[in-house]
Structure 1
Amino acid sequence: MPRTSMPRAASAPRTARRSVACTAVVAAALAAGLLAVPQSASATEIRVHDIQGSTRISPLAGKAVTDVPGTVTAVRAFGSARGFWVQDPKPDRDPATSEAIFVFTGSSTPKVAVGDLVEVSGTVTEFYPGGADAGLQSVTEITRATWSVRSSGHPLPAAFTLNPSAIPHRYAPTGSAVGIETLPLRPRSFALDRYESLEGMRVAVKDAPVIGATSTHNELWVTAEPHRGRTARGGALYDSYRHQGPGRVKVASLIPYAERPFPVANVNDKLTGVTAGPLDYDQFGGYEIQATQLGELADGGLERERTRHQRADELAIATYNVENLSPKTTQAKFDRLAEALVHNLATPDIVALEEVQDDNGPTNDSVVSANATLRKLTETITAAGGPTYEWRQIDPADDQDGGQPGGNIRNAFLFNPKRVSFTDTVGGDAATPVRVLDHGGKPALSASPGRIDPANEAWQDSRKPLVGQFAFRGRPVFVVANHFNSKGGDQGLDSRFQPPKRSSEVQRTQQAKVVNAFVRDVLNVEPKASVVVAGDINDFQFSPALDALTRGGVLTDLVNRLPKKERYGYVYNGNSQVLDHILTSRGIRKAEYDIVHTNAEFADQASDHDPQVVRIRH
């Protein structure tokens, strides 16, 4: 099949509109004298660079402007955020001041054409995607606009080329409590300042490597730095809070689908030739080229990985976030998950699943059982040539574990009874905490399966860890399946607050301490006990949460044993990063670990997470 997507609302990117007022953030800055309004310029002297100014906030925010000249460079004629971009053909010499601006016309299609020379009047507005409280940067616009077309057919200003020499290595300046909005832009020093200085202007990337696959919203991510910070498979590696990937930029399209279907790209593909258009900013991923010219897609040949099969004396334990799986999920997704477990993961002996929903999925009622979900998954696995897995899980209390409303997501175990046995100990339920017992110097669980400290406030509106005792070749293995709280509410890398606040870290760090304490309880009974902690930790290997989880040498995060360029299993906004982990206790001396890249780098995904597997000699 040709790799092009089906149309989606005229291939419109996601646009969440619309506040059309100068926000309190801007008003406060003006009142405090942090922004200067030109006093001497008459209406006929105002040009786009006067509106944009040399900071992120227009010195004319909230003011009316009249007859601002510019050439129309692009038109957005769909959605609720219609309008057009104008760029001044007579720029000033200040690299900090953008020469272009978006003219917002709401749901009305503007009657202008690319190449028109126009004069625009209206109100200068700072629009905050997602609202001012989201913490993102603003977009300077002209709203309540009227305009006149003076002439047509003018050539467009040359596009600014984004390349390694144009993108500073440092990502963002350090701001104060009020953020970075009032700081003078330094486009030669910081990547975010460079992009802001180009807001609305025509920019271009050439032969751009794809680092984030095409989404269902017809967007993809490329890098303007093709040789910097790459993964082993062609992505952009996010390996510390200091390395945010300054060359990342999103690409959407203003070209009608009938003229040019949006390319369906995977990581390691390339947009050859020139991709160009005005540089926009949105709440779903920062700076974005609204392409009026799209490069040709070159297939990079990326293939889904397959791990090797475990040997007879190796216990294979996997983790897989199956992303809101329920009986209402399409059969095609069940088939894809089964295919991955059987062939890409080579039928692991134990699978820790995350995001297993109840038996009627997002229907918000009192149903909490997931037996139908797990039965359908295991039957699909058997039909795909895999083993007849059994499962163990604990139904959560209704609507207490977060996730999609009504879905009651939870952790669950699959296991192959021909390879391992499960030690069933009655007593586990949603509210009862599992305890570690000492049976003659050997640890045992008060309930198996059981939940770790479910009443602890660390698990409020979050999934509780599921622990089970297994036996392999006559020896016990304790496995903990986890799904820590999400990063929702954190400020983005491109936030107007720098460094961005990661408020969700606090709860994940508390959760990590609880799991660490549980593992300590096991090891206090038997220091050489085999414990595997696996799942979607929702945090990075360099995060405080992982530090708390491994503190005291209780656990080893196996991702750190991989070569640096292979440390990722999730791609977000063009950054290849680690969210899922498998950790082992010190009693497990021989462990072979693999992140099996089957989803995150591909436009066609069964889940947004890549599964992982560890094979241990036991």
Structure 2
Amino acid sequence: MTTVGTWNLENLFRPGGPFGPRDQGAYDAKLAGLAAAVAASGADVLAVQEVGETAALAELAGRLGGDWQQVTSAHYESGHPIRVGFLSRLPFEVVADTAAFPDGLGPVQSGDGGEAIRRAGRGLLAVRVAEAGGGALVLVAAHLKSKLLSFPPGPSGRPRFQPADEGERARVAAYALYRRTAEAVTARALADRLLEGRGEERQVVVMGDLNDGPEAATTQILLGPPGSELGTPGADRPDGGDGARLWNLAPRIPEDERYSRVYRGRRELIDHLLVSRALLGRAAEVRTLRAGGGGLPSVGDDPAARRDAPASDHALLFTRLGPA
């Protein structure tokens, strides 16, 4: 059995900078909370998001004990350098690390001045993991553009988390949606490359913080050919599109656990595990785990408000893969 999961670590920076904990005590508490939850999940390999510093991820790996290794994407935004990565106690190799939009997809508007972007804000990192039983998994870590909006700096030079007016709010929300959509297309293009139409035999997982629910259009883009989703009559029937499809495991999460973040008091499932046909029968158990064993904190629109908080504002999502 191999346990695979994904977790947004919420601004994993070492103390003293503009984003991470203010002091060593808060940082140590965060690492302790993260390490305890990873251990409780039994994860063998974990896709992680919001790694601000590779040294901090290495320190987390050290807290886990054993032979945990880590890797991070080379692609991130300089203004807020969070990136995706992997923690693994199984051998792995990097097979892709990309951010550029695929051929055919043009740049998208990202601001009122008409500026455009041509790449994802965070890289998409893919690794090939060797299972203890001799099989191989190809895992992709993703982190799409957030729904939490930040606005251009005001006179203070600091980013704003409240708009000047509702017109600005609507425009910035549109820019974020354009970007998240383009990033979903980019992730789907990488999945196509890894699957090569052979999803019945290739064990591929695309996972991470997709920043929207299972029914959102951006999440649906990642599934590939429509039809056969879990919970539909065609879910268990072989189909011509199965070589290219990915299945969202969300319906297999126990209903009372089916959320990964709480925003303004509302439960949301925005972290996802999408598997190829070859893994659909193996991924029978799918769970979420909240650090400390309690409920998740409700978050608002200012991420800086939680810079000294322990662990993460997201739940860890994982699946235990049965025998092939």
Aligned to 2:215, what secondary structure does the other structure show? coil
Structure 2 residue aligned with 1:616, among 317, 321, 324? 321
CA distance in 1, matches of 2:180, 2:64: 32
State the 1:394 CA deviation.
Answer: 3.2
CA distance in 2, matches of 1:489, 1:409: 16
For 1:338-417, what aligned pairs fall within 5 Å after superposition?
338-343=35-40, 345-346=41-42, 348-358=43-53, 370=54, 372-382=55-65, 387-396=66-75, 400-401=76-77, 405=79, 407-416=80-89
1:551 alignment counterpart: 224
Structure 2 residue aligned with 1:568, among 236, 259, 281? 259
Could you say if the C-alpha distance between residues 556 and 376 of structure 1 is closer, same or farther in structure 2, counting changes exceeding 3 Å? same
1:399-451 alpha-carbon deviations (Å, 9 max, x no partner):
x526xx3x5211111111xxx321x3xxxxxxxxxxxxxxxxxxxxxxx2421
Task: Tell whether the 8 Å contact from 1:401 to 1:460 is kept in structure 2 after alignment.
Answer: no
Aligned to 1:571, what secondary structure does the other structure show? strand
CA distance in 2, matches of 1:355, 1:490: 16
CA distance in 2, matches of 1:333, 1:541: 29
Matched, 1:332 2:33: no
CA distance in 2, matches of 1:340, 1:526: 34
2:190 alignment counterpart: 518
Matched, 1:475 2:148: no
Aligned to 2:87, what secondary structure does the other structure show? strand
Task: Tell whether the 8 Å contact from 2:45 to 2:88 is kept in structure 1 after alignment.
Answer: yes
CA-atom RMSD, angstroms? 2.8
2:278 alignment counterpart: 587
2:145 alignment counterpart: 485
Letter in 2 for 1:410: R
Letter in 2 for 1:521: R
Q: Which TM-score applies when normalising by structure 2?
A: 0.69
CA distance in 1, matches of 2:249, 2:221: 15
2:121 alignment counterpart: 462
For 1:136-175, what aligned pairs fall within 5 Å after superposition?
none
Task: Tell whether the 8 Å contact from 1:466 to 1:482 is kept in structure 2 after alignment.
Answer: yes
1:96-133 alpha-carbon deviations (Å, 9 max, x no partner):
xxxxxxxxxxxxxxxxxxxxxxxxxxxxxxxxxxxxxx
For 1:593-608, what aligned pairs fall within 5 Å after superposition?
593-598=286-291, 601-602=296-297, 605-608=310-313
CA distance in 1, matches of 2:296, 2:51: 22
Letter in 2 for 1:337: L
Task: Tell whether the 8 Å contact from 1:409 to 1:463 is kept in structure 2 after alignment.
Answer: yes
Q: Which TM-score applies when normalising by structure 1?
A: 0.38
CA distance in 2, matches of 1:609, 1:390: 22
Indicate the structure whose relative CO is greater, using CA pairs within 8 Å and at least 6 residues apart.
Answer: 2
Q: Mark the runs of 5 or more structure 2 residues left unpaired by the alignment.
A: 16-20, 22-26, 108-116, 152-160, 227-244, 299-308
2:91 alignment counterpart: 421
CA distance in 1, matches of 2:124, 2:250: 20
2:303 alignment counterpart: none
1:219-248 alpha-carbon deviations (Å, 9 max, x no partner):
xxxxxxxxxxxxxxxxxxxxxxxxxxxxxx
CA distance in 2, matches of 1:510, 1:394: 19
Could you say if the C-alpha distance between residues 413 and 512 of structure 1 is closer, same or farther in structure 2, counting changes exceeding 3 Å? same
State the 1:353 CA deviation.
Answer: 0.9
1:316 alignment counterpart: 3
Task: Tell whether the 8 Å contact from 2:257 to 2:287 is kept in structure 1 after alignment.
Answer: no
CA distance in 1, matches of 2:62, 2:185: 37
Could you say if the C-alpha distance between residues 602 and 514 of structure 1 is closer, same or farther in structure 2, counting changes exceeding 3 Å? closer
Task: Tell whether the 8 Å contact from 1:393 to 1:449 is kept in structure 2 after alignment.
Answer: no
More helix by share: 2
Q: Mark the runs of 5 or more structure 1 residues left unpaired by the alignment.
A: 1-313, 359-369, 425-447
1:304-347 alpha-carbon deviations (Å, 9 max, x no partner):
xxxxxxxxxx111111111111222411111111111112x12x
1:147-196 alpha-carbon deviations (Å, 9 max, x no partner):
xxxxxxxxxxxxxxxxxxxxxxxxxxxxxxxxxxxxxxxxxxxxxxxxxx
Letter in 2 for 1:374: L
Task: Tell whether the 8 Å contact from 1:478 to 1:530 is kept in structure 2 after alignment.
Answer: yes
Letter in 1 for 2:48: L
Letter in 2 for 1:454: A
Could you say if the C-alpha distance between residues 454 and 594 of structure 1 is closer, same or farther in structure 2, counting changes exceeding 3 Å? same
Letter in 1 for 2:203: S
State the 1:488 CA deviation.
Answer: 3.7
CA distance in 2, matches of 1:401, 1:455: 15
CA distance in 1, matches of 2:268, 2:295: 10
Letter in 2 for 1:317: V
Letter in 2 for 1:613: F
State the 1:558 CA deviation.
Answer: 0.9
CA distance in 2, matches of 1:555, 1:459: 25
1:51-75 alpha-carbon deviations (Å, 9 max, x no partner):
xxxxxxxxxxxxxxxxxxxxxxxxx
Task: Tell whether the 8 Å contact from 2:184 to 2:222 is kept in structure 1 after alignment.
Answer: yes
Aligned to 1:508, what secondary structure does the other structure show? helix
1:73 alignment counterpart: none
Could you say if the C-alpha distance between residues 541 and 605 of structure 1 is closer, same or farther in structure 2, counting changes exceeding 3 Å? farther
Task: Tell whether the 8 Å contact from 1:556 to 1:586 is kept in structure 2 after alignment.
Answer: yes
Structure number with bigger Rg:
1
Letter in 2 for 1:468: V
For 1:187-202, what aligned pairs fall within 5 Å after superposition?
none
